[in-house]
Amino acid sequence: MSAALAQAWPETAPLDEVPPGPQPAAAALPGLRRALADGSRRCPGVRMRQLVAAGLAALPQPARGRTLERWRALAEVAHHDLSLAKLYEGHADALAILHELRAPAGIAGSGAQSLWCTWASEPPGERVMLQAEGGPDAGSVRLSGTKAWCSGAEHATHALLTAWWPEGRGPQLVAVDLLQPGISVSTQRWRAIGMADSSSGDVSFQQARGVLVGGVGDYLERPGFWQGGAGIAACWWGGARSLGAALHAAVAQAPAALRTPFRLAALGRVDVALGATAALLQQAAAWIDAHPQHDAQRVALRARQAAEACARRVLDETGRSLGATPFCRDADFARMAADLPVFIRQSHAERDDAALGERVAALPRDDEQADDEKEAPPWSL
């Protein structure tokens, strides 16, 4: 293996290249890696609770100078287990939202050991409705209805979810203690093979109590919406890197006579995909840190679409070059290869491409004068 390839993504990936500085224990990758390796055979819910208890799920806030450090942790968890990464990212996202919207400490009876989930899916006809309790300014509400696509519902203690007022105002964020009466979880409709362990069930609320977080529409309108949305790309990249590492190991460990040009070419294409996407994620994290109050939609969509394309490329290249053997005889590879195609469908595919194109079309052309860096032409070196 060349030195350049060794620096591109196996073990010392570009996402690890963060400027030195003080890091809390929660952000130190060696400790996180040890915890992930020690609990590799436990279910994601149990592992998630252990990470929270060890302080390894309290990540730096996005857009505060340490976004890349945050994404490194997300990618590391995803590299080990995508179902766990789904819970880990949802917990970290909830904490970031609560911080950004200035929710009080201990909201909804939560504490340092609480395991949070973020549920914002809004499929047609499945809204959770709100009813004010104790006056319009009290902040306490009752929730009724069913929330779909609730990852980690069987393991979480608290949730941050979107709900709606009867007159149609929303979405409104609500913090909920999931251990109270009036809440039930069903996984009867969850038939997934890929991402099966994320247990994305339906949660039904029957006059359950909740606490308002922010105002109507704050969830979508805050700067952190797209800053957090970009972070999921790090999870996709981490999963793709796991599959790429299997191909890398197969080629690196093979006798010279068995290093076929076809596998070497596949490894080269995987290196380009993972390396280029890692560089783009670094760029996106730096932009978010430098523009904490700006709309990060274009930056986030570019990172997400690149990470999805990278994942699809790595899935294809590893499968074609390694054949059926790892799918049938390597449980970790088989699980990752089944999980990743499901996880990246959190992307909206061509709709996100079109949304990105619309934002790019609104930027100045090369022959136009830009007012500031935020509105500069879309591409530069």
Residue 135, both tokens: 């006056």
The rounded percent of the chain whose pLDDT value lies above 90 is 81
Where is average pLDDT lowest: 15-29, 198-212, 227-241?
15-29
Predicted pLDDT of residue 238: 98
Residue type, 201: G
d(CA 13, CA 321): 22
Q: What is the pLDDT of residue 244?
A: 98
Residue-level pLDDT at 138: 65
Which pLDDT does position 193 carry in this prediction?
94
At residue 366, the pLDDT reads 81
For residues 201 and 150, the answer to whether their CB atoms sit within 8 Å is yes
| DSSP secondary structure letter of residue 17 | -
More confident residue, 158 or 374: 158
Cβ-contact 161, 209 below 8 angstroms? no
Q: What 3-state DSSP class applies to 211?
A: strand
Q: Output the pLDDT for position 370.
A: 60
Burial of 147 (0-12, 13-18, 19+ CB in 10 A): buried
Over range 357-381, report the average pLDDT: 80
Mean pLDDT of 236-240: 98
Going from the C-alpha of 210 to that of each of 93, 173, 204, 322, the distances in angstroms are: 19, 10, 13, 50
Which residues lie across from 158 on neighbouring strands?
Answer: 116, 177
Instruction: Convert the pLDDT of each residue in 52-78 to its tens digit.
Output: 999 999 999 999 999 999 999 999 999
Residue 208 pairs in a beta bridge with 143
pLDDT exceeds cutoff 80 at 40: no
Angle at 172 between CA 183 and CA 204, to 5 degrees: 15
Q: Is pLDDT above 60 for 1?
A: no
**Integer CA distances (angstroms), 97 to 12, 74, 300, in order:** 31, 16, 17
Whether pLDDT at 5 is above 60: no
> Model confidence over 209-218: pLDDT tens digits?
999 999 999 9
* pLDDT confidence band for 260 (50 / 70 / 90): very high
- Residue 259: which residues within 8 A CB-CB, separation 6 or more? 251
Mean pLDDT computed over 3-27? 38
Band (pLDDT 50/70/90 cuts) for residue 14 is very low
Q: DSSP characters for 328-366? A: HH-HHHHHHHHHHHHHGGGS-THHHHHHHHHHHHTSPPT
Select the more confidently predicted residue: 289 or 373: 289
Residue 11 vs residue 346, higher pLDDT: 346
Residue 133's pLDDT is what?
A: 87
Residue 6, pLDDT > 80, answer no
Query: What pLDDT is attached to residue 257?
Result: 83
Q: What is the average per-residue pLDDT within 178-200?
A: 93
pLDDT at 374: 57
pLDDT on residue 135: 60
* pLDDT over 80 at 142, yes or no: yes
Q: Please give the residue that has the higher pLDDT: either 5 or 378.
A: 378
How would you write 40-91 as a 3-class SS string? Answer: CCCCHHHHHHHHHHCCCCCCCCCCCCCHHHHHHHHHHHHHHCHHHHHHHHHH
Among candidates 229, 247, 252, 223, which has minimal Cα distance to 336? 247
What pLDDT was estimated at residue 327?
97
Q: Which pLDDT score is estimated for 73?
A: 97
- Residue 365: band (very low, low, confident or very high) from pLDDT cuts 50, 70, 90: confident
Across all residues in the chain, what is the average pLDDT? 90
Helix, coil or strand: residue 279: helix
Q: What is the pLDDT of residues 292-316, one digit of tens each?
A: 999 999 999 999 999 999 999 999 9
- Say whether 227 sits in a helix, a strand or coil: helix
Whole-angstrom distance, CA of residue 188 vs CA of residue 205: 17
Q: What is the pLDDT of residue 380?
A: 86
Q: What is the DSSP string of 112-170?
A: TT--EEEE----TT---EEEEESSTTS-EEEEEEEEEEETTTTT-SEEEEEEB-TTS--
Q: Is the pLDDT of residue 23 over 60?
A: no
Q: Indicate whether 80 pLDDT > 80.
A: yes
Residues 6+ apart with CB under 8 A from 238: 74, 75, 76, 77, 78, 79, 85
The answer to whether 378 and 360 are in contact (CB under 8 A) is yes
User: Residue 9 has which token pair?
Assistant: 């993504």
Do 188 and 206 contact (CB within 8 A), yes or no? no
Tens digits of residue pLDDT in 318-338? 999 999 999 999 999 999 999
Rounded CA separation 195/355 (Å): 27
